[in-house]
Amino acid sequence: MVKFGFALNPSSRIDLDKTDREKFAQLVELEPDVLKCMACGSCTASCTAGKFTPTSVRSAILEIQNGRWQQALDMLKGCLLCGKCTMVCPRAINTRHLILAINEVYQSGK
């Protein structure tokens, strides 16, 4: 192989054809509220862990919808389960339970 000194840049594009609908259905079964998020960001804004780690419930939900559940799991690692996000969510999503459900569904999938 010839060494060119550069290589194909990887694509950052999300392919929605490749999301795992079965796993997502399992998550919805465990915590149907995941469907209710309207991406307002209240959870992230008030997150105890979020200022010091990449924790964001809003982003984690989005990553899962985009088929990037590993990123979602990484994003929730810093969570303290303090419950502040549950308090501020305008759509009354049980975010604490959602975080646990995400871990349950997607951790076991490894």
Partner 1 sequence: MIYQGKQKIWSDYQKEIPDDHYFYVRSCIRQNLFPASEKTFLDITRNKLGKDFFETEHHTTCGGIAYHCDTIPQETSMTIIARQFALMQKYGYENYVCSCITSFGLYTETLETWREFPELEARIKENLWKTCKLEFAKPKYLAHASDIIYKYRNLIAAQAKYKLINRHTGKPLRVVEHIGCHYGKMFPSKSVGGAEYPYVLAGMIEAWGGEVIDYPERRHCCGYGFRQYHIRSNRGYSLANTYKKFESMEPYKPDMIITNCPGCPYFLDRWQYVISEMEGKTYGENGHGIPVFTYEEVAGLVMGYNPWDLGLQMHQIGPEPVLDKIGIPYDPQAKYLL
Partner 2 sequence: MKNIVVIGGGPAGLEASAQLHRLGYNVILVEKSPQLGGHLAKWDRLFPSGIPAKDVLEKMVSQINGVKYFLEANVQSINLLHKSYNVILNNGITVLADAVLFTTGFDLFPAQKKEEYGYGIYEKVITNADLENWFKTKKDNRVTENPKRIGFVHCVGSRDEKAGNRYCSKVCCATAVKQACEIKQEFPDVEVFCFYMDLRMFGRGYEDMYLSAQKDYGVRFIRGRVSEVAENINKELIVKAEDTLSGKPIKVTLDLLVLMSGMQNCSEGTKVAHQLGIANAGNDGFFETKDAIYSQQHSTREGIFFAGACTGPKTLPDSLSEARAAAIEIHNYVKGIR
Binding stretches for partner 2 (CB under 8 A): 12-17, 21, 28, 32, 35-39, 58-59, 62-63, 65-66, 91
Question: Which of residues 1 and 16 has its CB atom nearest to partner 1 in the complex?
Answer: 1
Quick one: how far is CA 90 from the chain centroid? 18
Rounded Cα distance, 30 and 70, in Å: 19
Residues 81, 96 contacting (CB under 8 angstroms): yes
Shortest spacing between CB 45 and partner 2, in angstroms: 15
Q: Which long-range contacts does 56-59 make (Cβ < 8 Å, 24+ apart)?
A: 57/85, 57/95, 57/98, 57/99
Contact partner at residue 35 from partner 1, partner 2, none, CB < 5 to 8 Å by partner kind: partner 2
Contact partner at residue 4 from partner 1, partner 2, none, CB < 5 to 8 Å by partner kind: partner 1
Question: Which of residues 10 and 90 has its CB atom nearest to partner 1 in the complex?
Answer: 10
